Structure 1
């Protein structure tokens, strides 16, 4: 049985990451929209080459790193003990300890290591390899890392290095060879971001898409109050929505689902997951208690190959509920159109 994460148009991996991580100026990657890619490593190489070129124009990240060196002139501070040892060997140098601003940072080391890895990959197009080589010429002073020992969890991002975030994720995917091709050459995401990780990427992508293109609907991942004040027992789970869109007296709560099948079977009848239905029902009913307007709910599934369900809506206890499927196996313009149509329900 096929799953939502089994097949995706290759280029959409980039778009989902770009929105989810909010890290890259889409203008830097416009040319990727008109290029075709035969496999995922070729796409990752293209993203990395374009990212390295854009980063070169902005300036590679630099950090101050401690250094020690024997110098004829003082720099930084003098290490007295080591300088005395030099004197004992009849040398006039000063052993200096200083901080040097360098491009040999950990993130740049990851970039260079990944670029060299992709240069050796037979799946990467020759033009992409030439693009990578041009950027590597400017990274001669950057050290290499052992790909098996990269501390991915140690990466920290802020406003000045935010453009590195998606590039580090590209490097992670490439170095671990987690994007697999099935027998037909299609992209498989099951081993890239399996389970909860893929689900979080999917819901974060949807939220950030709305934040970028539908900001007047105040997109947010809001927490819904149980409505019972301080007397709520500790064992009650928090009600955290994936996406909430609000416009005047209309509010739409979206619960994104990107795993498993959409319809299950109960006594030979196809039904939606009772757990998913109960979850969105609870969100809507509790939100309506505190919202002065119309509250509706939606289960937004990543479409699977065998799913016939496209769009259904119904009225229950005074609230409208929707089930939609988002087809990731199409050009991104089609994905955007589907998301825009959903926003139109409240916008």
Structure 2
């Protein structure tokens, strides 16, 4: 998933043009350029050959931002367990970085200062690179990088949540897409000490609403060892049911809920729809390892729950 996001982001940036900046260079030259480095010229005794060491600034693409992007792509291609299509696409965009040098991932300085209007599009890309290198890169033994098979569950859950949220914001501007708090539907107006309910995503078309709770777990179901039965994770069902019933304050049935799991390697893949107390509660899985068109189709199909 990270490699796919990185590819699409870099491809968009290539269309805009790679970031360029003035880069300090030091070279031994016959013709004067920039500022003479007298100290180095004396040390190297370049005047014997009628040359001078010159310091000069040159506008180019070999900036810190581009070096981080290229280094991350190279790292993924060498050591990442990524799909063939993603590997092919990353190799394509790598061709546009021919004038950019790589940097040791362990020595990257992530303190790049504030982004400005000329490089603001790099912010998301650099954050993805940070996730890949800091989240996946574990040790360096014998010159070989060791990669995790997964990020920290909390990091991945947060990334998954934001991915789905911003997908709907970008691809479905006709909808109201927000992540916010849901008030308890208390009868007497007293909600002291009640825990706050914060939804991951709320989609609304003006008359109906869909509350989406994203889940990135290693397991999407639970098994009762005593009886050998498999069920949906009870706490997740209680949570989405509570969100829906409290959001539908007028009991119209126009509020639906969706538990959207990231697909795992489990044999059982939840794909169920329920009508509970007049509201539709659905449980679906999103295959992040599939083709992008299929991922897009799955996300777009959830809009039907608003009808």
Gaps of 5+ in 1: 1-11, 30-50, 66-99, 181-188
Contact 1:173 1:192 in 2 (8 A): no
Instruction: Tell me by how many angstroms 1:207 deviates.
Output: 1.3
1:220 to 2:178 alignment? yes
Deviation at 1:304, TM superposition (A): 1.6
- Name the structure 2 match of 1:58: 17
Structure-2 change in CA distance of 1:167 and 1:227 (3 Å): same
Query: Following the alignment from structure 1 to structure 2, what is the Cα–Cα distance between the partners of residues 177 and 197?
Result: 8
> What does residue 125 of structure 2 align with?
167
> Do the aligned partners of 1:296 and 1:320 also contact (CA within 8 Å) in 2?
yes
| 1:237 alignment counterpart | 195
Q: Matched residues in 2 for 1:207 and 1:113: separation?
A: 29
Matched, 1:209 2:171: no
The residue number in structure 2 matching 1:289 is: 249
Could you say if the C-alpha distance between residues 15 and 240 of structure 1 is closer, same or farther in structure 2, counting changes exceeding 3 Å?
Answer: farther
Aligned positions of 1:18-33 closer than 5 A: 24=9, 28=11
Q: 1:297, CA displacement in angstroms?
A: 0.8
Other-structure match for 1:260: 218
- Once residues 189 and 63 of structure 2 are traced to their aligned partners in structure 1, the CA distance between those partners, rounded to angstroms, is 48
**Does the alignment pair 1:276 with 2:236?**
yes
The 5-angstrom pairing of residues 1-347 of structure 1 reads: 12-16=1-5, 24=9, 28=11, 51=13, 54=14, 58-60=17-19, 62=21, 106-111=64-69, 114=72, 121=78, 132=94, 135-137=97-99, 139=100, 147-152=105-110, 156-157=114-115, 160-169=118-127, 171-172=129-130, 175=133, 178=136, 191-227=149-185, 231-233=190-192, 235-266=193-224, 267-268=226-227, 269-289=229-249, 294-347=254-307
Q: Which moved more, 1:122-131 or 1:196-205?
A: 122-131
Structure (1/2) with the larger strand percentage? 2
How has the CA–CA distance of structure 1 residues 61 and 247 changed in structure 2, closer, same or farther, with 3 Å as cutoff? same
Q: TM-score, normalised by structure 1?
A: 0.59
Q: Which has the higher relative contact order, 1 or 2, with Cα contacts under 8 A spaced 6 or more apart?
A: 1
**Number of residue pairs the alignment of both structures matches:** 260
Unaligned runs of at least 5 residues, structure 2 = 25-57, 139-146
